[in-house]
Structure 1
């Protein structure tokens, strides 16, 4: 059986990557030309896949550039971040483990690294430091890529995913100032910083009072257009020996409002149901499967909401625009105007809703369909 051409839940491969040509070119040009870049968009819009694609392209074409991608999602402390940062920089600087050991000992003046090699030195290499020493000499690690790049006559591109997670560390403000102070002087290192919490990322890079303000170019990732999705879906079906009419293929991005994660997921379920040719009923059945598969996530999402936050979502999903009007606040039991403002901010910051030109909307289109059925008994099928 052919493998599904649609991917979600992981960074997509080249085959499943669609459109983003302009974004990919801009990011490629920025990073190879030494322009620090911050990538901002709501979660599940394809930031990590875009960075992964561009990094692969750079690795193929730019032999003097060494790339590093670090996912900070599970990095729980400042010390762990610094150790991982140092290890990945050293590993990227050479393909020889003997040179890793030399670099680990040569480029630290105050810090004393502990180096461990396992059975397979190319995979089991680890680096650690005395944590008290790390707190006092962070600059040695923050400057390590520039020092290594200068000595080896190479360029580094360092991509930090879930960058906003650093803000949860107790002494982040001090670390943030030090990172900016050192990284802005680097000539042979370019940084790509991105994350899934749009409002935190926007505050870090767009707030004039924050150290990383104007650190580089900010790319606001937009949705892939419906037309591009339709072309991708039709071609992907065809590559695997199946067909889907454009009219039916259009239903998929329209139902999912061009949301990258969900378009891929709905297309995948539709593809699975298709023998030779997709039918409209397959898309609707696939939508039911998608909602069912994600229901535990949606239930968890509403469980953490306060009663007034839940009521505010009810007002939004019903198309209410004047959330602080007396009639709306009474109808949905939203509390006071101050409650509305506070809850709105919380839901904005958590990327649950966003403001549009005409009002408000859910950022997650499938969650919106589930919510309507759960609380208003509205069927999400035509």
Structure 2
């Protein structure tokens, strides 16, 4: 937990300069003797430095900062933390999780939105009876972004930059990447780079082939780290196998019960 956590909370909860500066002095005044504004633009963006050194804000004070600001301002707050599963990589992660929960469960004016990309790790944090965050809140599983939403999004982004792409090609991009957010945007970007004014199917195919070529090198390196049985398991998955315990599958793909149980 560092100064960026505290500054992020303040930046989001205050939009007026005087109000912001007053809040900095009130909540973070013990960290620095003064606050310096380096740029005052119409977008109302501000950057300033915080230095803990010998004059630290306590761990408990930082954790309670969202609740303190919400209580004093009379405004509800939502704190969003991405890749929350990485909490398991901290030193003594269980102690840290217990510390977080002991504070957060008392924050009546703050909602915490905790999300990440590793579903199995997040489920272990929130569904494991022995974990501090067991039953901490509601769990929502995000479905794939609908194709029609991708078509609108891609088309709008092209239009905003003076380029054109048909709805059909937007759908083609989405289908090729199976609605995966990262790869759909990656392919869209590559198509945009290759488009002078109007996108074409040929450009989409070219961009897709280039991405596959780049990723193939990455996947080849990953394959090199796998055992023969693990590779055979992936081949079975690619072939549409669902009953991995059947004798026929075990023999055909040279799998074993030990490997299946591990996977």
| TM-score greater than 0.5 by the shorter chain | yes
- More strand by proportion, 1 or 2? 1
Aligned partner of residue 309 in structure 1, secondary structure: helix
Residue of 49, 60, 80 corresponding to 1:159: 80
Aligned partner of residue 219 in structure 1, secondary structure: coil
Structure 1 residue aligned with 2:166: 244
Distance 1:339 1:273, change over 3 A: same
Structure 2 residue aligned with 1:227: 148
Distance 1:304 1:238, change over 3 A: same
Structure 2 residue aligned with 1:311: 232
Partners of 2:69 and 2:192 lie apart in 1 by 48
Report whether the alignment pairs 1:327 with 2:251: no
Report whether the alignment pairs 1:198 with 2:119: yes
Residue of 206, 212, 229 corresponding to 1:291: 212
Structure 2 residue aligned with 1:103: 27
Partners of 1:154 and 1:280 lie apart in 2 by 50
Partners of 1:152 and 1:158 lie apart in 2 by 16
Distance 1:228 1:120, change over 3 A: closer
Instruction: Tell me the alpha carbon deviations over residues 302-322 of structure 1, each in whole angstroms, 9 at most, x when there is no partner.
Output: 344333322221221122222
Partners of 2:109 and 2:257 lie apart in 1 by 51
Instruction: Tell me the alpha carbon deviations over residues 263-314 of structure 1, each in whole angstroms, 9 at most, x when there is no partner.
Output: 2222333344445554433322221011123334323433443333222212
Report whether the alignment pairs 1:341 with 2:261: yes
Instruction: Tell me the alpha carbon deviations over residues 329-374 of structure 1, each in whole angstroms, 9 at most, x when there is no partner.
Output: 333333x2121221x2xxxxxxxxxxxxxxxxxxxxxxxxxxxxxx
Aligned partner of residue 226 in structure 2, secondary structure: coil
Structure 2 residue aligned with 1:212: 133
Taking only aligned residues, the RMSD between alpha carbons, in angstroms, comes to 3.3
CA displacement at 1:174 relative to structure 2: 1.5
CA displacement at 1:238 relative to structure 2: 5.2
Question: Unaligned stretches of 5+ in structure 1?
Answer: 1-80, 106-112, 345-382
Distance 1:285 1:87, change over 3 A: closer
Contact 1:114–1:127 (CA<8 Å) still a contact in 2? yes
Aligned partner of residue 220 in structure 2, secondary structure: helix
CA displacement at 1:183 relative to structure 2: 0.9
Structure 2 residue aligned with 1:150: 71
Q: TM-score, normalised by structure 2?
A: 0.77
Structure 2 residue aligned with 1:168: 89
Partners of 1:225 and 1:156 lie apart in 2 by 29
CA displacement at 1:114 relative to structure 2: 4.7
Structure 1 residue aligned with 2:5: 85
Partners of 2:9 and 2:154 lie apart in 1 by 39
Report whether the alignment pairs 1:126 with 2:32: no
Instruction: Tell me the alpha carbon deviations over residues 30-69 of structure 1, each in whole angstroms, 9 at most, x when there is no partner.
Output: xxxxxxxxxxxxxxxxxxxxxxxxxxxxxxxxxxxxxxxx
- Report matched runs for 1:362-381 at 5 Å: none
Q: Count residues with an aligned counterpart.
A: 251
Contact 2:163–2:196 (CA<8 Å) still a contact in 1? no
